Structure 1
């Protein structure tokens, strides 16, 4: 087993396919060869069975026809007349020697053509009768194919024969040929019954030179049923040979021969000059088997010529005698198509083996090379090289399914890597955003309104930067406005305090300086009115600042919500990583199942077991990577949570700032209310200047109350300035140098001792100086 697994699949698979093809081809060839050989032998056996039986039946029919013809001669008037005529004329001859001399010795025709001599020249009755009947009997012998035609009288004298051989004019009852076949036929017919034909089987016949001869004879009776004689014919052996030696259906070496009860042949078989008619075949196994009741089919045996033959026999009855008809054909001829088929099968087998080996190599190549490409592609995919050729996924077989699975796995790995890269990039961006935003919020919490986040954030995070910068800008404007208004309030309240003090000191001289006081009151009225207007404006600005602070709170909430959404996105990424981990687990499980199925498949599934093992390893590595990614996401979630906390703290700071602004708004409202009251009071003073004397005491009290209120307002303004000193403002965001110049107008000046007014004329410039309020404005922010 270890050796088989150590062999490369590119060599093992073609070898297995070629071996299977060889085994299959050889098995089919061997089975086909054996079946074909068996069928050929069965066909030969069937053919020779049919052939021998048909030839035997033909021989029997032929003998029956001859027998019928011979039997018909007994009733032939010509034959009857010839027996009568030849009998009376033969008896008139002195001896038979004269007839032999006349038709044999003195026959002008050579032996074999003596039948052409019709009548001897001597004037004897016999010659006359011979000339009369000879042409008729010669035609019968020629037409029927007999070797000879015989007429015997009751004594056994051969009175007539067509061929005039040596047996002519001899007696077959006690003569030299009485024991011959013709003599036996004559004796049987003479002693037989009317209408019966008697057969003398083939034997050597001396008048024919010892050649085989067979005879048929039948008695002839007259009308009174007296025996006239016997008519006999010599069976033509040539026609028997034609029946048996007809080559139709016997191939090149087939032969059929008949064997009589004496175990001698009755015809001359084909292609064997050594075996002729009446040859002794008693040593032939198939002949003895037939006559001893054995199987008519002897299979492969030794023929009568000594060759290996396929023998098939049949028994026939010839006039009461059993003949064996035996057909033989050489095994070489039978096996000729078998050998040819065997050679073809060998060639076909070799060709099929070659083609199978080539197809096996192609098949193995079509399997091994895609598998090699699959292994290479899997290796490259495992190394995160996703630009690999997976064109084999278009195949419709299992390899195509594997490539499709690898392509899906590659897409998932690529998506996972992209997600990881995006996550890492997002994490870097988040860290950078959180870091820079944390620094900015820290500075904002420290009151530094000059700090800006200048470098844009990536993507949607830039909105946080813009919101932050806009918030700082709004805070700069708001706090700057508060600073300006608070300085103005302090300056005006300080001026009002000094004015009240001056008023209190000059109250004693009020009557004297009524005119100047009226003028001063006009100016003061305008100044107070202006202060009231400024207080209202401060109130509106503070209200606007409060609105901006209220508006900044949703911005902070949106920032917190954005950070919360980032945290939610991190959780969703963690869930996706969990899904990837589940996919890796399922892939590992599927790879394990594939390994089990491959193990069940045995040798055929070993290659797939290796693939399943590799897929399982990849799934394990994917699971480990997913766990690492999940850990990193968890750390990122912690950082995002800290960012949310910082943003929340920034929101709390902004809420406190909004609270202070609300307090400032209340204070400014009180200042505006006081300024309005002062404006009303000055108006009444201006109206009631004519009654100044009457209400001087009331004015003094009112001045004292106003002085106390101004001192209180001055203290509140100082506290407001202390609050705004915490912030470092960006001058460009609140108007630059022009605003600075405006602010310098409200720089508090140290209190100066006003000298006693010497006279009415000296007080006017002092009042103008107080009401002008424009001296020493360069150092308004010196306390900051």
Structure 2
């Protein structure tokens, strides 16, 4: 019974099957290739973006840390500047005289205008109470007077009050302000600070401010801003009690700046060893933002349309502006409103026009970065958009912030999507081509097979009246066609002969000839059969004999393989030419085994290396042993040299497996064993990969001698190692592996660092001394001139002139002393520069630095200045 088929495919004709088979054969590799390509592209794009974002993160981290270090150095340098010291002292004195000198010119009218200014401040400061203006309004009369003069009655618009140099009166404060304000303003503009303050250490009053906001002239001990960022920075600087101390207060809302985030950096100011006040910088928000946003040129630094780098503080608030706030504020606010961000925070960002210190970022990356972790992940950012993020910690003068470099996932993988689309289109196109080819080939094949089937079916039905099939092909279908044609021709001939026999027309002689040919055929067949039987017997005997010899030969080979060269079977088991040849070979092997025994036991000087058969084997063996003797001697000498070498040496083979380590290297590594991944005694035989977290890079370098020699510095525990990797070759210049020589250079690097620090310190001291020399020189000339003038005026001032002359002489002596010290200092610096190379090879010697001007010399200058002022 015919099977109806177990599946749908069982009822398909060959054309359909061929089409399906060819399509599957073509499409399956395409699909697999598409999947594999997509995976590889995804991984490569991910790794590329990881490297790019991490590089940007580290670059910005370095920039911002260095910038804040620069600010710290500037606040120290500026606080020790003689102009700053002089200005703070004179501002403090003048501030204490403001009420006495100007009270009569200040009344209710001025206070009313000042209150209007405070009301304006309250109305434009988000998040303050309705009584803020009253709470802020100063209680001290001197504060009211100065704020009226320099804020409410200042004709310059709000935000430009710093342009006023003088209030127009003749008070001491106005004169001091007119003298110093342009210089402080120029410094502020040059370095981009938001504001600069001078605060009296004793009273706590801000005696000077460049920008003149409502914190100007207030008291940081008892005033309304004593607990704000500027108050905390002031108190920290006072407590620091050192000229080079720097205090920083992190960004937080600051009411005088309309509750915008503000950070303050402070350093105490000393005059002749006594703290007289504090210099405070209000952090330059715009400069910080420019560094982090690359001056709003995100695309130029490779961040595309959605990338950004930003910092967050311990409060999770931004320390620079969001890119999306800057570029697309409407979309930004719409997004965070949908996310449910506090409406007060949104209104504050809109009112102040910034996200700094207001917008919060509580993502996985920001949390990890603030915990001191570095990494790379994909997670939703503060817009709830998936991003590729490279995050890490950043140190800002002791403040622990986090820094993140991010790019939207959609943009990061846009190239992958394009490649996927292109691959899909190509696959579809190839699929169509494959389908067309499959249909054509299947149709052609099906037609040819159907032609044969048709012929066979007609033959089966007794229809022999048909033409042979056309055939020009040499493939299997062509063979089938030819066979069917031949079968058709044979059957047609048979049919004709049958018909002729039936009609009595077939020639009897032709039949007899056919019968005779049949007899001859039988005879030929019998002859061939007999010959085959004879040949078969001879061949069987030969094969039996060969099989016996092969078994004996196998026994002999097994004895030789088991080193049983003295077994008697080796001499007797084989016969004939084969046995004789095998006996000679055995004797040779016995002799070679004996000589190999000498070599194996290092008895290379045994003289019995002669071949008894007078063949060339003994000569070859002798030559080999001589070469081994030379090589062994050379290797012993090289090994001895390597072991006695005072340099640390380590050798690995081409598989980077450690093969040799000289005693000096082992001795040195023993001191660092606790920091190594394995014990020193266990290193030989292990791969050098154990020393690297990512060994692929090192393998790429060390596996190719073209990359060598190669130098590097690595840190092992507290020590820094200087490495030199050189290639090792044999006589044929075949690469044997890398040889590593190394030394510990930690002390050397520390010496070089100390040398640079000493040189920088010497230069700094010399510059300060030069300034003092110039100042003292000018003072000396001025006092000498005053002395002469006083002597010419009258006898009544003779005593004063004599005193001034004495002061001038003393100052001149001090100038000479300082000049001498300057020359000594210059000589010391030249000596340091000339001997810098020697300092690298030996411990640094203590330098003799000339002392700074004594306290008495500065007192003389101060006394002289006061005397001149009194004479005027």
| TM-score, scaled to structure 2 | 0.44
Larger radius of gyration: 1
Q: Which has the higher helix share?
A: 1
